[in-house]
Amino acid sequence: MKYVTLKDIARVAEVSYATVSRALSGSGEIGEATRQRILKISRDMGYTTDYVARAMVKRSTRTLGLIVTNLNNPFMSELANFSEQSAREEGYEMILCNSSHSLDQEKQVFQLLVGRRVDGIIVVPAEQESYAVLSPYIAQVPTVFISENIRDMPVSFVSVDNYAGSVLGTEYLISLGHRDIIYFGRRLVSVTHHLRAEGYIATCMKNSLRPRFADNPLPSTSIQNGYELAVRLFSKRPLDFSAIFASSDTNALGIIKAADEAGIRIPEDVSLLGFDNISFADLPKIELTTVEQPKQQMAARAVSALVRRIRNESDELIKEKLPPRLVVRRSCKKR
């Protein structure tokens, strides 16, 4: 495959290389009619910008990288969408990569983005060890994380306040009169989910309640994991709990499926609270009450912090935790 070059366009347009360069970059003295003719010829020839070549000349590709853990997770896809919107508002395009929760793959795509000469990278870390794995490469490019998993590391991050969110959710269930609340997600080893579990535990202890957990030897935040845990939980009758606090909305969706199969009504028999406020949470027949992560705000703050670093407007490390919000729908009721 032969790529179209500026010289190819110049030959067809019968103008100089410099004139084509000025027309495509929108800079320099050039007549509007000539500019439009060159732009049309470039489109007809299928010309695309050579970002690496542009980076060598201008030291900027006007591109950012975004690494997420799993695009099948609705939270990640929504966060990616908001990040791309924010990047474009700042005048940047975004290259999206998926680490699939793998440290090795995360390192590979980070190196790939550095090789593509992106101006900066946003990372939703695959594991708690992500910073240690990526630190040799972070020195080469401005980097911002979206997660509390790296809160103690010398790198900027933006996150929801996970501990406060879990306190908020647990207090809401207690305010409805629930005394036997089971938490899904304690075994998740990331700092993010550890903080959510700790918020639940502390709030239970403060209210003289016994923390209770539904644990899986292979924990995850997936719909399937929530479903499998709930199937086991609902098989024991009579139920000895009145509410479930799921550490993610995707877990909660699996719990809803298991409850439906077991003939357990939500919220009449069991109240259910999630965490994240993904778009599916508001669908009919789900209407999940949940603790919201401000995804749009998190994405905007992360992009803004990254762009400031790129433009050398600030070298200060940003460590920002945004407040959560309780979104009340119909999956919880008074005891």
Check pLDDT > 60 for residue 134: yes
Least confident of 3-7, 241-245, 255-259, 289-293: 3-7
Q: What is the DSSP letter of 2?
A: P
What is the predicted pLDDT for the residue at 295? 97
pTM for the full predicted model: 0.82
Name the β-bridge partners of 275: 291
Q: In what helix (H) or strand (E) does residue 113 lie, and over which residues does it extend? A: helix 103-115
Domains belonging to the chain, first-starting first, are 6-48 (1.10.260.40), 58-160+295-321 (3.40.50.2300), 162-293 (3.40.50.2300)
The answer for residues whose C-beta is within 8 angstroms of residue 274's C-beta and 6 or more apart is 246, 248, 249, 251, 252, 281, 288, 289, 290, 291, 331
Q: Which of 210, 161, 221 is nearest to 187 (CA)?
A: 221
- Three-state SS sequence of 7-60: HHHHHHHCCCHHHHHHHHHCCCCCCHHHHHHHHHHHHHCCCCCCHHHHHHHHCC
Digit-coded pLDDT (tens) for 3-40: 778 888 889 999 988 888 888 777 667 888 888 998 89
Please tell me the predicted confidence (pLDDT) of residue 192. 86
The phi-psi region of residue 277 (left if phi > 0; otherwise alpha if psi is between -120 and 50; otherwise beta) is left
Question: Percentage of the chain with pLDDT > 70?
Answer: 92
- Please tell me the predicted confidence (pLDDT) of residue 58: 58
- 6-13 vs 32-44: helix axis angle to the nearest 10? 120
Segment 73-82 shows an average pLDDT of 94
Poorest-confidence range of 29-33, 194-198, 304-308? Answer: 29-33
| Contact assessment for residue 51 and residue 42, using Cβ atoms and an 8 Å cutoff | no
CA dist list (Å): 267 to 181, 192, 271: 13, 27, 4
